[in-house]
Copies of this chain bind each other. A is one copy, B any other.
Amino acid sequence: MKLTPEQQKEIRDQQSQENNTKRVTVKELEKILYEVIPILDHGFIRVIDYMGDDTSIVQAARVSYGKGTKKVSTDAGLIKYLMRHWHSTPFEMCEIKYHVKLPIFIARQWIRHRTANVNEYSARYSILDKEFYLPTSENLAAQSQSNRQGRGDILEGDTAKKVLDILKSDAERTYNNYEIMLNERYDGSKIDEYGTGLARELARMNLTLNTYTQWYWKTDLLNLMNFLRLRADHHAQYEIRAYADVMLDTLKKWVPITYDAFMDYRVGGIEVSLKGKEVIKKLIKGEKIDIDQSELSKREWNELMEALDLKDKLI
């Protein structure tokens, strides 16, 4: 991830703003506003703007004339209560806006979260930069043998090298040809001597899915947490989790009370089915219970035992 001097200046210009406002502000978040936080090899996240803080949730929940309640402890109690009982609307009262640079195949996962506002860099209108994602060796994993949509072992050195060579040379080749078709190649190679080159909206189809794109992405706090619950989870693909992890940090800076409740009730918690609940009841009573009586599938049984740290009961 390299920024041009002009981009760096634009960022510094915005960071040097000192505006007065009667709106609530969050010091910890202001500190990193506009900052480029690098992710993967060329990606980043920048917090561009935000609305509200922890007190805004309380204020909206109470439909009050003033700002939250008087005491932080009361605010925290209410926020925990709202989180625990799945109240959704008060958390929609805060909003955040990010500038994100990410590989296209990750952008395609990300965009499935529909309750957000997005403005993506247009490759119909502009030319994409020559930047594509290449995994580091510790992230180059084999297909999992047990989970059809997961990763298994890290690839060995020689295999890893072969994979990286392919990814790199294919991305470079297709990008170079993209430039040639656009008549935009630095060395002067062109597709037609006197023309304007192929239309941008067509030329882009030659790029590989690890090409980086970028967008402005804005969402409310509730939907940000929904996004993070799924994307910071260990089932999520590593590359999107890398973004979610950084966003979790920004969440903590922005709304620390909500962050704590989120980690306790959502991220760290578990959901137990009716049948799973019966298993837990028997375990507490010290009664014998095995997978057959439980009516759980093998996968469910193991997930439950894992969550309860009962490794000896794994099957």
Are the CB atoms of B20 and A19 closer together than 8 Å?
Answer: yes
Determine how many copies of this chain the complex contains. 4
Are the CB atoms of A89 and B117 closer together than 8 Å?
Answer: yes
User: Which residues on B sit within 8 Å (CB–CB) of A215?
Assistant: 63
Near B by CB (< 8 A), chain A positions 46-77 give 48-52, 56, 59-61, 63-67, 77
Q: Complex: how many Å from CA A9 to CA B143?
A: 32
Are the CB atoms of A143 and B191 closer together than 8 Å?
Answer: no
Shortest CB-to-CB span from A264 to chain B, Å, is 5
Are the CB atoms of A49 and B49 closer together than 8 Å?
Answer: no
Are the CB atoms of A205 and B208 closer together than 8 Å?
Answer: yes
Shortest CB-to-CB span from A286 to chain B, Å, is 7
Q: Is A97 an interface residue (CB 8 A)?
A: yes
Q: Report how many residues on chain A are interfacial, defined by Cβ distance under 8 Å.
A: 142
Are the CB atoms of A269 and B280 closer together than 8 Å?
Answer: no
Q: Is A294 an interface residue (CB 8 A)?
A: no
Are the CB atoms of A192 and B22 closer together than 8 Å?
Answer: no
24 A-B contacts (beta carbon < 8 Å)? A14-B66, A19-B21, A19-B24, A20-B21, A21-B30, A22-B30, A49-B56, A60-B119, A84-B273, A111-B111, A122-B149, A125-B148, A125-B149, A141-B202, A143-B182, A149-B201, A150-B201, A151-B199, A156-B195, A163-B191, A163-B198, A173-B173, A206-B210, A265-B273
Question: What 0/1 pattern do residues 213 to 236 of A give for CB contact below 8 A with B?
Answer: 011101010000000001000010
Chain A positions within 8 Å of B, measured between CB atoms, are: 3, 7, 9-11, 13-25, 30, 33-34, 48-52, 56, 59-61, 63-67, 77, 80, 84-86, 89-90, 92-93, 95, 97, 99, 103-105, 107-108, 111-112, 114-115, 117-122, 124-125, 133, 135, 140-145, 148-152, 155-156, 159, 162-163, 166-167, 170-171, 173-174, 177, 180-182, 191-192, 195-202, 204-210, 214-216, 218, 220, 230, 235, 237, 263-265, 267-277, 280-281, 283-284, 286, 297, 300, 307-310
